[in-house]
Structure 1
Amino acid sequence: MIYRAAILLFGLLVRGVHSHMQMLNPLPINSPLDPLNTGKLRDVNYKNPLWANGSNYPCKGYLAQPFRPAAQYKAGSEYEMTIEQNTATHLGGSCQFSLSYDKGKSFKVIKSIIGGCPLPLKYKFKIPSSAPSGEAVFAWTWFNRVGNREMYMNCAYVTVSDGSGNGFDSLPEIFKANIAAQTPCTTDEGKDVVFPDPGPVVEFGPGGEGPPNRGILNCNSPAGGNPPAEKPQPPAQAPQPSSASSPSAAPAP
């Protein structure tokens, strides 16, 4: 009985190392889950991470494909993204949702999940009111907690309506690591990455508590050369009591 249990555990561990994940909603470009994708448009290895040399960043090199929206979004509204269920989660990690309007030259973060991603296999996100209207690329990027040091990226064509476009460019760029041609940054195994600049919408999952830049190595500046930010303070610390004489005073640095 013990021998059999050990064999089963080994099988699960092997699956956890070699099985990956892919986005189910919205359906990514060239997804094998999309019934409209046939032949060369159907990537049967879509679950694989980006190449370690970074040469297929962004979006596995698929942004040259004709635009065919997988979803229609309205700025200011909330939606749900889902991950294919029959996949291994590598004990979670950290991930980001972003939008690009320039064919992948830049990806602006609309939500960060620090810790436990994607253990629930589904997340709510909101298209910011500041998002421009028009054709866009929705991206999910993920840094797994255990296993090889990799960066996963799934991208879907989407359309956005009723957006103002005002202030959208002030959102931070996505964090990039483990893709050598794009950045020297790497991630530390066994730690959930705490993004240097997660943006204004942050969800903390199990293991998300930690200082900025935790789990990040060899990275003098995150995500395309922006200076390290001092933003992502997780809600593990109790709020400081307000002073009666100056209730709105900020804490001293």
Structure 2
Amino acid sequence: MQISGGMSSTIEDGGGDDDDYGGEEGLDDFPIVGSAQEILDDKPSASSSSFDFPAEEEVSFSGKSENYCVCFIDMVNSTVVTSGLASAKLVRYYSIFLNATAAIAKNFGAKVIKNAGDCLIYYFPATSDPASNAAFSDVLECCTAMIDANKVINARLNTEGLPPLGYRISADYGKVEVARSATSNSDDLFGSTMNLCAKINSKAPKNGVVVGADLYRVIQSIPAVAELYNFEQVCSYLVGPEQQQYPVFSVARRQKRNIVNPFKVMPARS
């Protein structure tokens, strides 16, 4: 395995209110995959003097915690790129992106949680077993396959008269809390692992992948997987009450491989 370069910047994590999961505001109304369309109706105004809580909570936490690999794939400059698109073209643009990347994720054993506008969020259930080398290999294979598929996705967009797109992918590993919405049968994940994975996404190059330090350490413990990739530290966050350094690494596959075509029927991985 080759590690090159040094830390380019240190970013303080102030623990503010910027833990939203990716995407531009106003683009989360496309019910394409997962549990995207989860809108609370009858929201009371801030001036309401009383409020009757519903008998059933909208989001119910199971009390179950797991260690999972989680991933975010976020489009680059989508607001600018799509600003001139008519409504039907806009829907088709996001539909191609979200469904193509979701197909690749599922092909590598991932489970899509939701889309948040121009961001797809997914995780790998098999990584709950820390001894499953194949599961952790699938994480990096999936992320790099999505990068390779960018040309295929843009070719499809071009045939439909739509502009090309770029995206960034971030991945990390750690403890998450499992919850479920009253309006969805899909699990949702919460916790610092999700928040940090969202934060580091912007540090990936366009059409590139970054991983957090916790996932990096797991991959380094599997030499047969680590040797397939080049890693370079791109920045470091200060996290936690003790403001500890948390490095972030870019990832690139050393050798080319066949590009996954998300527009062909792909059998689910067993």
Structure having greater relative contact order (Cα 8 Å, sep ≥ 6):
2
Compute the TM-score of the two structures, normalised by the length of structure 2: 0.29
Compute the TM-score of the two structures, normalised by the length of structure 1: 0.30
Higher normalized strand content (fraction of residues): 2
